[in-house]
């Protein structure tokens, strides 16, 4: 009964094309004069009583100010322990959530200063200690300089070994000389032989060993690791008079320990790091099957009447997924070949999934290959969440973009000027920033899963998820071109995400 009532209300709301009243339009224009903090996705009005300096120190969280507005994340760990992989993951996630982020790599700085290709003696000789410390100090100062130049929530990542208490104490003393910068140490510990072997192989591909004999390069690199191991001091709770803030990650996410991690930024970072892993899997992004309202370009339509083209797309998708998962299984990736389905709660999402699983459609007309493909999908776990629903058009739900342009040109122009921050007027109206904010739990779920995932959503949600995994600039996310009736395959890798787009129709 409740389901029927919900469906009727939804139908009525979207079929009665409501024109925003003058009062609503004025409210909308007033809303646009407020400022949006991308680090939280929350709106706040800037008051005249706040000076520029005070505003620079305020970072708004959930109902309160963040504890710190600038954070220096300092990596700790032996070479080839996944530090740079963690840095890239953090950069991608924090930029996507709206923070200003920049990484500073001591190894890259050494190579830029003409010491590329340095052999193990550079890292083992005591005579080179002063040079190594000088490079690390310069890299640290670059991070501090960048942080001090930022006027809003910002995070610098100091990517170096930082394996001694003396080095960490130097970072701590330097941070006390300036206002508003908090050092947080992220130690990556790895003793899994399989992970270490993979990391060593990838390390031999960097500029220090490019073009060298693989066996000679590997022996040299292991000598470098051995030199660092002799000086290595793991983080202790009593450092900095028992005030050190740190996160320890064991075997790239298998175990995570956090100490004194409080505040909005660090709670996000700690939760994110506790869910990442390096297991191979695939994420397929698909848009829901085509509907009549979708074909006509209506905003926020609740229609679930799938067109003939939409049904053919679903059949082709079933066969595509069957082949992809079979290939993964035959290659030995058993866990990754398993699949779960994540979708929104819109009627069209359920209709798309029902057709895909064989619950709807003409069974008699299916080929043997299609029947086999559909049966392989019927054991998949299906989860639905409103977090994956389309960007809400507010009072513009049910209108086409042409109708909005003709009847409400100021709203249409505002959207064209800034699609990232533009929020539709009226109750429930959303912006792309709002969608990104509500998708954070979905991103964590996608990072956490060790099996492959099929995501059924609308275009705006698809763009936001795609933008996260590919590291797209925030302002470009609303403009990402993603074809209809296509399967977008994302394969998270240590050095980024491989993307393959297969047009199925």
Residues assigned a catalytic role: 159, 190, 390, 458
Pairing outcome for strands 181-189 and 70-76: parallel
Q: What whole-number distance in Å separates Cα of residue 123 and Cα of residue 38? A: 42
In angstroms, the CA 260 to CA 246 distance is 7
What's the angle, vertex CA 112, arms to CA 108 and CA 114, rounded to 5? 125
Distance between the two ends of the chain, CA-based, in angstroms? 38
Asked whether 99 and 474 are in contact (CB, 8 A), the reply is no
Sheet holding 486-493, edge to edge: 381-384, 339-343, 452-457, 283-287, 486-493, 496-503
Contact assessment for residue 294 and residue 485, using Cβ atoms and an 8 Å cutoff: no
Look at residues 415, 373, 417 and name the one whose alpha carbon lies nearest to residue 396. 415
Q: Inter-axis angle of helices 83-96 and 459-470, to 10 degrees?
A: 150
Angle, helices 214-231 vs 193-203, to 10°: value is 120
Beta strands 100-105 and 154-159, pairing class: parallel
Burial track 53-83 (b if 16+ CB lie within 10 A, e otherwise): eeebbbbbbeeeebebbbbbbbbbbbbbbbb
Dist. CA 71–CA 265, nearest whole Å: 8
Could you tell me if 485 and 313 are in contact, meaning their C-beta atoms sit under 8 angstroms apart?
A: yes
Cα–Cα dist 162/75, whole Å: 7
What is the distance between the alpha carbons of residues 274 and 250, in angstroms, rounded to a whole number?
A: 10
């Amino acid at each position: 009964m409740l389901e029927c009532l919900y469906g009727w209300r939804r139908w009525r709301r979207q079929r009665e094309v409501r024109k925003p009243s003058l009062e609503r339009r004025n409210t909308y224009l007033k809303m646009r004069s407020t400022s949006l903090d991308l680090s939280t996705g929350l709106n706040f009005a800037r008051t005249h009583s706040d000076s520029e300096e005070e505003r620079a120190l305020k970072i708004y969280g959930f109902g309160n100010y963040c504890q710190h507005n600038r954070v220096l994340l300092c990596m700790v760990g032996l070479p080839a322990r996944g530090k740079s992989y963690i840095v890239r993951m953090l950069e991608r996630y924090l930029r996507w959530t709206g923070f200003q982020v920049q990484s500073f790599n001591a190894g890259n700085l050494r190579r830029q200063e003409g010491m590329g290709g340095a052999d193990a003696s550079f890292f083992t000789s005591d005579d080179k200690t002063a040079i190594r410390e000088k490079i690390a100090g310069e890299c640290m100062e670059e991070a501090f300089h960048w942080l001090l130049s930022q006027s809003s929530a910002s995070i610098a990542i100091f990517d170096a070994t930082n394996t001694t208490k003396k080095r960490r104490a130097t970072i701590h003393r330097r941070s006390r000389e300036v206002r508003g910068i908090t050092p947080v140490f992220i130690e990556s510990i790895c003793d899994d032989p399989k992970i270490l072997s993979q990391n060593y192989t990838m390390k031999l591909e960097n500029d220090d060993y490019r073009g060298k004999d693989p066996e000679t390069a590997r022996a040299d690199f292991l000598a470098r690791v051995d030199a660092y191991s002799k000086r290595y001091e793991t983080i202790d709770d009593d450092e900095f008079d028992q005030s050190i803030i740190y996160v320890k990650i064991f075997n790239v996410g298998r175990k995570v320990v956090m100490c004194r991690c409080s505040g909005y930024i660090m709670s996000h970072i700690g939760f994110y790091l506790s869910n990442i892993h390096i297991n191979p899997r695939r994420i397929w992004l698909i848009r829901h099957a085509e509907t009549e309202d979708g074909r006509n370009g209506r905003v926020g339509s609740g229609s679930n009447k799938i067109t003939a083209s939409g049904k053919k797309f679903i059949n082709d998708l079933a066969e595509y997924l069957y082949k992809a998962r079979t290939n993964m299984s035959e290659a030995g990736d058993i866990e990754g070949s398993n699949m779960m389905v994540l979708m929104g709660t819109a009627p069209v999402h359920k209709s798309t999934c029902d057709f895909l699983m064989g619950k709807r459609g003409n069974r008699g007309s299916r080929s043997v290959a299609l029947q086999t493909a559909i049966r392989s999908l019927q054991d998949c776990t299906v989860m639905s969440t409103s977090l994956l629903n389309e960007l809400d058009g507010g009072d513009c739900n049910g209108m086409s973009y042409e109708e909005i342009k003709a009847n409400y040109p100021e709203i249409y122009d505002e959207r064209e000027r800034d699609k990232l921050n533009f929020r539709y007027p009226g109750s429930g109206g959303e912006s792309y920033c709002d969608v990104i904010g509500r998708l954070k739990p979905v991103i964590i779920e996608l990072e956490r899963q060790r099996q492959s995932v099929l995501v059924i959503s609308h275009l705006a949600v698809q763009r936001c998820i795609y933008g996260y995994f590919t590291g797209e600039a925030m302002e470009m996310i609303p403009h990402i071109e993603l074809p209809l009736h296509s399967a977008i395959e994302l394969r998270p890798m240590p050095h980024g995400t491989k993307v393959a787009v297969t047009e199925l129709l």
